[in-house]
Every structure is written in structure tokens, then in C-alpha cells.
Amino acid sequence: MPPSVRFAISVLVGVIIGIGSARYMSSESSGIFANSYGKWQNWPVAGDTSSNPYTLARFLTETKLPEHFSEVLTFYRRDDDQDDRLSEDCNYLLSMPVPTARRWSVALETLSAQTPQLVTQDDVISVGGVVEIQLSNTPQPGNWLQIPDAGNPKVILRLYDGETITAQGRNGQLGLPSITRLACS
């Protein structure tokens, strides 16, 4: 093979590997630079000037400005407690102690939905200091978030006033929700 052809192939392969690996490492799905809290993940240093370039890239390549962790902590997950992917064919129960954050929300985002389903601290009924929200494709009694028909569901928990919550987390009181599968059709 002539050297010029080898050169072109090497450059092409190198560029594909280099850019591909950079995109993967900065993607949400890789989770390499995300922190894990049980089944939940978040990007702990998003928005800080000391954050690594992969964390920044995770937001900036989507032209989103990362919220500083002192303002909001955002956690997400795509699996239930049995490590199975969330599915529109199943019903789930999300359960957590009422967050002590001054403001919080739980959202269900899918690829197919334009805007995520959302509940905030003002929308839910809590009993005995526990919030339970059913995640289901069909209407459910009590607190309910609809899983649309298709699209890789992702549950997002946002806790406002991140400094307070981070301090509580250090004492093991973060209280992130469990997601239990109830039944599948």
C-alpha cells in the first residue's frame, strides 16, 4: 500500500476514534464523569470553573448552560430498582421522604415527548412524610406521572438550594427515591 494511502487511512481512523471517544466520554450515557448515588447519577461539578472539560462539554454541546451545583442538584436515572430499563409497558412506584430542599421537582422525560411530565412540591400529596408517585402509561390514583408511549424514559429529580442538600448528603440523609416495578402489561 502506498504511504500516502496509509497516511490518509491513519488520519481518518485517528480522527474518527478521537472525536468518537470525546463525544462518548462527554455524553450522559457514558456516565464516566458523573457521580453515582445508588441508582441515581448527577454531574457534581457542573457549572464550576474548575469542572473538567468533559463535564462542560456534556452541557455546551447541547448549547445548555450548566447550572451551578450550589443552586440546583439534578439527579437522573433510567432504571428501576431491579436494574431493568424503565418501560412504558410497566407501572412503577417512586417513593421518597419529603425532600427538605426549599423547592424540588420530579420529571419524566422521554425522547418522544416535547415537554417532560412534571410534579413539584406544590403538586403532590404526601402521607406520613413520604411522597409516592406512580409512573405509568395510564392514569393512576394519587400522584401520577405519565410515561408516554415510546422513548426511553428518564426520571429527573431536581433539588433546589444545592448547598444545603449537599451538606445533608454528607451526613447520609440525601433520601433519593426508590423506583419499584409494580406490574407490566
Partner 1 sequence: MNSSRTFWGIFTLLVAVAAHLSYILFVPSSQLKAKMSEIAEANGINTLAIGTPGSPAHSLAEYPSELVYAVCPFDLTSGPLRIRATVPEQYWSLEVYNARGGTIYTLNDQQAPRRQFSLYLSEDDPEPQAIVNAANSLGSSANSITVLTGTQTGVVEIRSAAASPLEAARSMEALGSTSCEVVKN
**C-alpha 134: how far from chain center:** 18
Q: Using CB under 8 A as the criterion, which residues of the chain lie in contact with partner 1 when the complex forms?
A: 6-7, 10-11, 13-15, 17-19, 21-23, 25-26, 47-49, 51, 53-54, 56-57, 59-68, 70-72, 102-103, 105, 107, 115-116, 118, 120, 122-123, 158, 160-161
- Shortest Å distance, C-beta 137 to partner 1: 19
Nearer to partner 1, 107 or 131 (CB): 107
Nearer to partner 1, 85 or 102 (CB): 102
- Shortest Å distance, C-beta 106 to partner 1: 11
User: For residue 140, what are the contacts with CB-CB under 8 A and spacing of at least 6?
Assistant: 91, 134
- Shortest Å distance, C-beta 128 to partner 1: 24
Element housing 16 (H / E): helix 3-25
- Shortest Å distance, C-beta 82 to partner 1: 28
176, burial (CB in 10 Å: exposed 0-12, middle 13-18, buried 19+):
middle
DSSP symbol at 61 = T
Strand, helix or coil at 59? helix
φ, ψ at 125 (rounded to 5°): -105, 130
Nearer to partner 1, 14 or 38 (CB): 14
- Shortest Å distance, C-beta 184 to partner 1: 28
Nearer to partner 1, 29 or 115 (CB): 115
CB of 68 within 8 A of CB of 49?
Answer: no
Nearer to partner 1, 61 or 185 (CB): 61
- Shortest Å distance, C-beta 179 to partner 1: 20
Q: Closest by alpha carbon to 133, among 100, 178, 165?
A: 178
Task: Tell me which amino acid residue 66 is.
Answer: P
Nearer to partner 1, 58 or 80 (CB): 58
Strand, helix or coil at 93? strand
